[in-house]
Amino acid sequence: MNARDDAGAPRLSEKRRRELVDRYRVTDGRGFRLKHRDPADLAGHLVARDRANALLAEGVERLTRLQEKLYAQDRWALLCVFQAMDAAGKDGTIKHVMSGVNPQGVQVTSFKAPGPEALAHDFLWRSAVALPARGRIAIFNRSHYEEVLVVRVHPEILQTQRLPPELIGERLWRHRFESIVDFERHLSRQGIVVLKFFLHLSREEQRRRFLARLEERDKHWKFSAADLRERAFWDPYQQAYEEAIGATAAPHAPWFVVPADNKWFSRLVVVATIVEALDALDLRVPRPSGEELAALDAARRELESEASAERSPRHR
Ligand code: ATP
Ligand code: MG
């Protein structure tokens, strides 16, 4: 049974929430194997399907309140990275998770194949310019990780990056992992909380979702022939993900390997994870100092005297 709050709304107790989040968190990538993770996992039915919608709504509401504090406090920032195979539900997850959040405090950046400006820079440049300012949330729909995923699976892409040839070789991937780890450590030391989500989809579920996109007219727009071409590289992608997660999972920038075969479940886990991370910051709306309180008081008096002046007969 889940605890209920005063208003009678369903709640995910803190204990359950922590269990859910801990289950999918990876902070030490040594020996990490994707095949040991089940894309259809439901955390031993820690949360029941029929309560999922209500729990998701409750999580979104909590996130909304936490974001208000994050924004008001204006110290910490949050970066959420989303990576996944096609049709794993990145877009839908981002939409749901952010549905209650004040748009002024959030920025979503979609990382597509890089254009000339990005190609003229180092591989972390695009991420650097999209980082969240203090008090803000940045969502990366794909990210700098594509540089060790799609580029690794299709190494011919490297040729477009105009790197000096001496720097291209097997070491390049290790160097990129090191750069990413250092970059994310730097962010965490600057008060940017880094959460990385891999929506872990099974090959069979991707097949079903692609078929649904082909069968239903209003889902046609979601299907692209390129997706099918990438599907043919399923195993190299899984390998690349496994290595990338293994090499870059760290306490300062954990990965969350979220089972994605059930959308209702993956959304719940993502919201719970973000709530958990923001909760841990113990965010507080700043309290005004004595001097600021005096200034607020003076402002209040000024506005009040304006009203009484308007009411006074002299102004009639
Ligand atoms: P959706 O299909 O839901 O719109 P998406 O993220 O799949 O979302 P697409 O426009 O289909 O968006 O794909 C973007 C493509 O850009 C992906 O295939 C991705 O691998 C590629 N991409 C992203 N970053 C890089 C990069 N740094 N180098 C090369 N390709 C990249
Ligand atoms: Mg796509």
The CB of 93 under 6 Å from ligand 1? The reply is no
Question: How do residues 113-158 score in pLDDT, each as one tens digit?
Answer: 999 999 999 999 999 999 999 999 999 999 999 999 999 999 999 9
CATH of 3-285, one of 3.90.1720.10, 1.20.1250.20, 3.40.50.300, 3.40.1390.10: 3.40.50.300
Measured from the alpha carbon of residue 125, the closest ligand is 1
The CB of 229 under 6 Å from ligand 1? The reply is no
Cα 301 to middle of ligand 2, angstroms: 58
277: nearest Cα among 78, 92, 74, 100: 78
Which of 142, 151, 157, 213 to probe ligand 1 with, by most ligand atoms within 8 A of CB? Answer: 142
Question: How do residues 62-75 score in pLDDT, each as one tens digit?
Answer: 999 999 999 999 99
Question: Is 281 strand, coil or helix?
Answer: coil
How many whole angstroms separate alpha carbon 28 and alpha carbon 177?
Answer: 14
Question: Mean pLDDT across the chain, nearest whole number?
Answer: 93
pLDDT for 284 equals: 92
Residue 252 phi/psi, 5-degree rounding, is -80, -10
pLDDT for 219 equals: 87
Q: Looking at ligand 1, which atom is closest to the CA of residue 126?
A: 27
Cα 150 to middle of ligand 1, angstroms: 9
**Across residues 42-60, what is the average pLDDT?**
92
The CB of 108 under 6 Å from ligand 1? The reply is no
Cα 233 to middle of ligand 1, angstroms: 15
Q: Which pair of structure tokens corresponds to residue 134?
A: 């203090």
pTM: 0.92
Which of 91, 111, 117, 153 to probe ligand 1 with, by most ligand atoms within 8 A of CB? Answer: 111
Residue 3 has pLDDT above 70, yes or no: no
**Across residues 1-21, what is the average pLDDT?**
70
Residue 181 has pLDDT above 90, yes or no: yes
**Across residues 249-257, what is the average pLDDT?**
98
Cα 227 to middle of ligand 2, angstroms: 6
Q: Which pair of structure tokens corresponds to residue 48?
A: 């029941």
Which residue has the CA at smallest separation from atom 20 of ligand 1? Answer: 150
**Across residues 225-238, what is the average pLDDT?**
96
**Across residues 207-216, what is the average pLDDT?**
94
Q: Which pair of structure tokens corresponds to residue 226?
A: 């390129």
Cα 226 to middle of ligand 2, angstroms: 8
Q: Which residues of 139-178 are buried (b: 16+ CB within 10 A; e: fewer)?
A: bbbbbbbbbbbbbbbeeeeeeebeeeeeeeeeebbeebbe
Which residue has the CA at smallest separation from atom 12 of ligand 1? Answer: 112
Cα 273 to middle of ligand 1, angstroms: 25
pLDDT for 67 equals: 97
Contacts of 123 (CB under 8 A, 6+ apart): 144, 147, 161, 176, 179
Task: Categorize the per-residue pLDDT at 9 as very low, low, confident or very high, splitting at 50, 70 and 90.
Answer: low
Cα 313 to middle of ligand 1, angstroms: 69
